[in-house]
Structure 1
Amino acid sequence: MIRLNVFIQVSESNRAAVLEAAKELVASSLKDKGCIAYDVFESATRNDVLMICETWQDAESLSAHEKAEHFVTLVPKIQGLASMKLEKFDF
């Protein structure tokens, strides 16, 4: 399995738009084949930090997800409004 933690740092002025896009990404990604878990979290201590946490069955599932319409549309939208940092773990 593969776990991705995507940390998003966003300004207050862009926070609502980023959170809306992230929630749309979650809803669509949960339907992707091989998706075990996918969610967005808000920091309890920092308003400028969100995190998307995702778990994939295998590399093939993750690769297909990265080519999906919702991914290629929503991730660049989020990147245009905030900075993103990715951590990847295989287990």
Structure 2
Amino acid sequence: MIRLNCFFQANEGRYDDALQAALALTAASRQHEGCISYDVFESGTRADVFMFCETWRDAEALAAHEATDDFKTAVAQIQDCGAMKIERFSF
């Protein structure tokens, strides 16, 4: 399994746009083959930060997810609104 934690800090005034893209990506990603779990969380201490927490069956499922139009479109929208940092864990 592969776990990704993707942290996102929205630029001033862009949080709502980024969150809407994040929610759309979450809903679509849950339908992708090999998705074990996928969620987005808002920080309880920083109003401009949220995190994706996702678990994939294997590298092939993650690669297929990253190749989808859902992923490409939403990630481009999110990156337009701020900065992402990804942590990857395999187990």
CA RMSD of aligned residues (A): 0.7
Whole-angstrom CA distance in 1 between matches of 2:25 and 2:82: 15
Within 2, Cα distance between the matches of 1:78 and 1:14?
A: 9
How far residue 48 of structure 1 moved from its aligned partner, in angstroms, is 1.2
Structure 2: how far apart are the matches of 1:86 and 1:54?
11
Within-5 A mapping of 1:1-91? 1-91=1-91
Percent of residue pairs identical: 54
| Amino acid in structure 1 at the alignment position of 2:55 | T
Q: Across the two proteins, how many residue pairs are aligned to each other?
A: 91
Q: Which structure 1 segments of 5+ residues have no match?
A: none
Higher helix share: 1
The amino acid that maps onto 2:79 is: Q
SS state at 1:13 partner: coil
**Runs of 4 or more off by more than 6 Å in structure 1?**
none
Q: What are the Cα deviations for residues 1-54 of structure 1, in whole angstroms up to 9, with x where unaligned? A: 000000000134100000000000000000000000000000000001100010
| In 1, Cα distance between equivalents of 2:82 and 2:37 | 23
| CA distance, structure 2, for counterparts of residue 77 and residue 88 of structure 1 | 21
Give the letter aligned to residue 23 of structure 2.
K
Contact (CA 8 Å) 1:12, 1:47: kept in 2 or not? no
Segments of structure 2 that go 5 or more residues without pairing to the other structure are: none
Q: Name the amino acid aligned to 2:30.
A: L
Residue identity in the other structure for 1:59: A
TM-score (ref. length: structure 2): 0.97
- Alpha-carbon distance in 2 for matches of 1:17, 1:73: 13
